[in-house]
Amino acid sequence: MDEEQKSVLLKSSSQFPIPPDVKFSYGTSGFRADALLLESTVFRAGILAALRSIKTRSMIGLMMTASHNKISDNGIKIADPSGGMLTQQWEPFADALANAPDSDRLLQLIVEFAEKENIKFDGDFRPEILLGRDTRPSGESLLEAAKQGIHSIVGSVGSDMGVVTTPQLHWMVRARNKGMKGSELEYFEQLSSSFRCLVDLIPGGSKTDSAENKLIVDGAHGVGGEKLDSLMKLLDGLNIEVRNSGKGTGILNEGVGADFVQKEKVVPDNFDSNDIGKRCASLDGDADRLVYFTVPSADSSKIDLVDGDKILSLFALYIKEQLSLLSTTGAEDNSYKPHLGVVQTAYANGASTDYLKGLGLEVALTPTGVKYLHEKAAEYDIGIYFEANGHGTILFSERFLSWLEDKNKELASASEGSQQQKAALRLLAVSKLINQAVGDALSVLLLVEAILQHKGWSIQYWNGLYQDLPSKQIKVIVKDRTAVVTTNAETQVASPQGIQEAINSETAKYPWGRSFIRPSGTEDVIRVYAEASTQDAADSLASSVAKLVDKYLGISSS
């Protein structure tokens, strides 16, 4: 790094001092905090993105969002060249940058890291970062701070994509690094054309009457509702009403959105007894999560939730069926058998895991966090992952897609229009409709709608694939969450000694009992999860395990 570059970094960073007594941590959600505290952090994230661009010789993304958090919060997520999240290997550097106390220390960290990573400031490559933001009022000024960070690496360019969903920005990064145009229009066109392809391939008689089969979508007063309105202009065969679109007077994520609906299990604002029995869905604030629900009766604000586990089950069932059609007599390729796997965390409802295993599917568990799920899903030819909160997607390996393209051509020449060829075409359409960079509420919604039409299912029938076991979550305050060390995808406790045996003993008292504990990634609490055959039993088991945490860790409050 030459002296000019050092001088630019020192001068620019001095304009963005870090707030006192605040420690930032980059996790699955990137950096996230009260927007008033974030200016220095997003400035430094801009520097990191430019360095990442130089290192990878690729385009990088920066998204300004706090997802389902309250409107006064904001945050920043970094998209890697694949469109996925920032590699975990760079997270410690991100933390160090965000918390460097002054400009001199910041420069020292950058110089040392650049030497370690062999990052060359030789001018042979022009770093480019795509910038996006959601609808939060703080987004515009924070985005300007990020641009200043990008420009402090000499020669770097920040391209502002405007107000977009988080998945759109990730998709754009992935598309452009693959040599595609990657604009919002191309995103909308790819989703709409892939959806139409799936609908056109529905077996005769399976299509539902769109005039009578309305989907009502809660847009969380965020960017997703606005973008869904735009997407609908390119679509036929869907009757969608968007509420809480962000164009009214409602407040982002307040009493609305996927996170609110999934956790509270109550109707969002602007839904009521007039919606009884109708198919409804909620996006979150930046449209990377989606859950479905129905309003069961006029007597309660409670809902029947159709969460990410149910979405995963629907997708797994559909894809398994298409693979089965593809491998029927006359289409089997003995030299290659695609490997399908589904990935969950320990928070997935036990009934969903049993259902998936009952279909003959391979189910893998990972620690909590989308980055772990995504990494594991990428090991399969087709990997499907979802969290119960509605964040998830489907990954297709390049090897599988290449094989599928060849298989489709082979079937088209031998038996065009056969069930085998239609199955190949459906799988190809799914690979284009689903956002393989990150969970995407809009693409997931379209795939759910296409599959429900294909199968002729109501939301009630879909929700009845299995019955969720009652569950309960509790937080126990501790002095030091690192005292709890877990193993086996966070389902077992390795330390402190003795607590796992005590949890096992307590769990054995309850029919269908299951419980685990894990340290929070952001605060000094231990999270307790429990399932059992009844809600009272799940509540009791969770309470008993919480008392064990208190006993073993010497904490007096919970």
286 is in an annotated binding site: yes
288 is in an annotated binding site: yes
CB 124 within 8 A of CB 132: no
Q: List the beta strands (DSSP E) in 127-207.
A: 128-133, 157-163
The three-state secondary structure class of 250 is coil
126 is in an annotated binding site: no
Q: Residue 487, by phi and psi: left (phi above 0), alpha (psi -120 to 50) or beta?
A: beta
List of residues 6+ apart from 117 with CB closer than 8 A: 51, 55
Kindly tell me the sign of the dihedral angle through the C-alpha atoms of 104, 110, 112, 115.
negative
Catalytic residue among 67, 138, 443, 540: 67
Place of tokens 């989308």: 370
522 is in an annotated binding site: yes
Which uninterrupted H or E stretch holds 403?
A: helix 398-415
CB atoms within 10 A of CB 63: 31
275 vs 290: CA distance, rounded Å: 19
78 vs 46: CA distance, rounded Å: 9
7 is in an annotated binding site: no
The three-state secondary structure class of 269 is coil
The three-state secondary structure class of 545 is helix
177 is in an annotated binding site: no
List of residues 6+ apart from 142 with CB closer than 8 A: 35, 38, 39, 42, 64, 74, 76, 133
552 vs 545: CA distance, rounded Å: 11
103 tagged catalytic: no
173 vs 321: CA distance, rounded Å: 32
388 is in an annotated binding site: yes
CB 353 within 8 A of CB 346: no
Tokens of 434: 């689903």
- Bridge partners (DSSP) listed for residue 217: 242, 281
CB 290 within 8 A of CB 297: no
172 vs 553: CA distance, rounded Å: 47
133 is in an annotated binding site: no
554 is in an annotated binding site: no
| Residues recognised as catalytic | 67
Binding residues for Mg(2+): 67, 284, 286, 288
Binding residues for substrate: 387-389, 518-522, 527
Binding residues: 67, 284, 286, 288, 387-389, 518-522, 527
